Amino acid sequence: MNETQNAVPATKRVRVKRLPDRARYDRETIEAILDEAFICHVGFNTEHGPVVIPTGYGRDGNNLIIHGSAASQMLRDLSKGVDVCVTVTILDGLVLARSAFHHSMNYRSVVIFGKAELITEKEEKNRALEILSEHIIRDRWKDVRPPSDKELKATTVLRLPIDEASAKVRVGPPKDDEEDHSINVWAGVVPFETTLGAPIADERNIGALPGYLRQE
């Protein structure tokens, strides 16, 4: 267990109970995972039962920024201050063991609990949307047309404090039972990587490929 002075308080909801040696509570690890991933899953209870929705996000210091259509039922529910659980996962490798039981994955994940807050002030809302854009493709915001007042009105933006969170990380080879090491079958790790492909221009594109998209 890794708890430091720069740790997020490990409350009962976020404390890792299963394989606690993989737990990380330091902000550096939590923020690094959030900054590398692109999709989070938002879980909350509705009048029809529990719901989990995938969505994009960005990080603004100690806040997670989530946005979507003003017509989104999810965002309307979250803006009311309901309890929410947000998860993010990065897959780093497939772990192939000698036994079926010990197959696993190398991964880095974060779980955040809290209540989201609606961002309504125009300048602050624009800044939050810029953070979201820059998280996806850095330097893109300065090239594109900013949101119009109509588009801002049609967009809901929420912030979720990263005050109750933990990370869980698995690294390394398979953890086979000692007696299984004599089994004549390949075992090890197959690395898993997510990479950007070559850009494909829109058929009506008239702009030059920007430097931040060039693969040189």
Q: What is the pLDDT of residues 189-208, one digit of tens each?
A: 999 999 989 999 999 999 99
pLDDT exceeds cutoff 60 at 126: yes
Instruction: Confirm whether 11 is domain-assigned.
Output: no
Calculate the average pLDDT of the chain. Answer: 93
Tally of structural domains, the chain:
1
Tell me if 164 is assigned to some domain.
yes
Q: Residue 9: is its pLDDT beyond 90?
A: no
Q: Is residue 96 part of a domain?
A: yes
Tell me which of 11 and 87 has the higher pLDDT.
87
The residues facing 52 across adjacent strands are: 43
Domain-located, residue 8: no
- The percent of residues above 70 in pLDDT, for the chain, comes to 97
Res. 111 pLDDT band, cuts 50 70 90: very high
Collapsed DSSP state (helix, strand, coil) of residue 61: coil
Instruction: Write down the pLDDT at residue 5.
Output: 54
Q: Would you place residue 1 in the very low, low, confident or very high pLDDT band (cuts 50, 70, 90)?
A: very low
Q: Report d(CA 63, CA 57) in Å as an integer.
A: 10
| Rounded distance between C-alpha atoms, residue 82 and residue 86, angstroms | 13
Instruction: Render pLDDT for 37-58 as a digit per residue (tens, 0 to 9).
Output: 999 999 998 888 899 999 999 9
Model pLDDT, residue 215: 74
Establish if 110 belongs to a structural domain. yes
Would you state the pLDDT for residue 3? 47
Main-chain dihedrals φ then ψ at residue 91, nearest 5 degrees: -90, 125
Q: Has residue 71 been placed in a domain? A: yes
63-93 per-position pLDDT tens digit: 999 999 988 888 888 888 899 999 999 999 9
CATH of the domain at 73: 2.30.110.10
What span, in angstroms and rounded, lies between the C-alpha atoms of 34 and 16? 18
Decide: 94 and 134 in contact? Cβ < 8 Å: no
What's the pLDDT score for residue 73? Answer: 85
130-176 per-position pLDDT tens digit:
999 999 999 999 999 999 999 999 999 999 999 999 999 999 999 99
The answer to whether residue 13 sits within a structural domain is: no
Amino acid at 126: N
Q: Which residue range(s) make up the domain with 133? A: 20-171
Neighbouring CB atoms inside 10 A of 40's CB total: 21
Is 178 within a domain?
no
